[in-house]
Structure 1
Amino acid sequence: SAIYIVTVLGVTMFGNVPMNERLDRLPHLDQDAAKYWKTYGVVWTRWNHVRTLGSVASAICYLLAAMALS
C-alpha cells in the first residue's frame, strides 16, 4: 500500500494535478502557455510513467500476498 500511496496518489496530487492546474490557468494563445507546453508534455509523461510503474508494482505485491494466503 505504501508503494501505491507514494507513486500513484502522491504523484497525482503533487505532480500531475499541479501541472494541469497551472496549464489550465494560462491563456491558451499566450506565449507563456506555448513555452510551458514545450516542457509540460515531457515532464507530465515522465511522472505518469512513475505512476504507472507504481500501480503495476502494487498490483504485483497484492497478487503475491493473495497467493501467499492460499
Structure 2
Amino acid sequence: MTSRNRERWMTVVASVGAGVNAGVFFAFSAFIMPGLHELPAGVAIPAMQAFNRTAVTAPFMLVLLGTAVLCVVVIIRAFMTWSTASGRWMLGGAVVYLLAAIVITVVCSVPINDAIDALTPFSSEAVASWADLSTRWLWWNHLRALGTTGAAAALAIALRPSRR
C-alpha cells in the first residue's frame, strides 16, 4: 500500500469516526437531553449518571479516542501535504475534531458530568442543581455535535480527487 493510499484510508476512517461521534452528540442534543428535561429531576439525575458510567466503556471510548489518535496522524500528514487543498482540509477537519470532541469533553463536559455524578437524586440540592448543570452540559454538547459534524465534513472533502 502506498503512502498516499494509507493517508486516504486514515482520512476515511477519521471522517467516519468523527461522523459517528457527531451522531452520538447529536442524539444527546436532539432528543436524549430534551427527554431527560421532561422528567422530574429525581428521575433524570440517575439516568444521566447511568449514561456517564456507560460512556466510559470500550465501544464509545474506542471511537472517541481512536478517532483522536487518527486525527493526530492526519495532522502530521496534512503538514506534509500542506501545499494541496487536501492537506488544508485534512488539517482543518482533524484540528476541529480534537477541539470539539476532546478539548470540550475534557474541559467542559467531564467537570459537569462529575458534578452531576456527585448529586444525590431527590435531594433538594440535586433538584436545584439539575436544571443548571444539565442545561450547561447541553450547550457544550451542541458545540461538540456541530464541531464533530464539521470535522467529518472537512475530512470527507479532503478525500476529493485533486484537480490537476
Q: TM-score range by the shorter chain?
A: 0.7 to 0.9
* C-alpha displacement of 1:68: 4.1
Tell me the matched-pair count. Answer: 70
**Aligned residue number for residue 127 of structure 2:** 34
Higher percent of residues as helix: 1
- Unpaired runs of 5+ in structure 1? none
Length-normalised TM-score, structure 1: 0.85
Query: Deviation digits for residues 28-52 of structure 1, max 9, x if unmatched?
Result: 2222211110112211111111000
- Provide TM-score, normalisation by structure 2: 0.40
Query: What corresponds to 1:23 in structure 2?
Result: 116
* CA distance in 2: counterparts of 1:31 and 1:20, whole angstroms: 19
After TM superposition, what 4+ stretches of structure 1 lie above 6 angstroms from structure 2? Answer: none
% identity of equivalent residues: 26
Cα RMSD for the two superposed structures: 1.6
Cα deviation 1:4-56 (Å, max 9, x = unaligned) = 11111111111111111111112222222111101122111111110000101
Q: Which residue of 1 aligns with 2:13?
A: none
State the structure with bigger RCO (CA 8 A, min sep 6), 1 or 2.
1
Unaligned runs of 5+ in 2: 1-93
Could you say which residue in structure 1 is the equivalent of 2:157?
64
Structure with max Cα Rg = 2
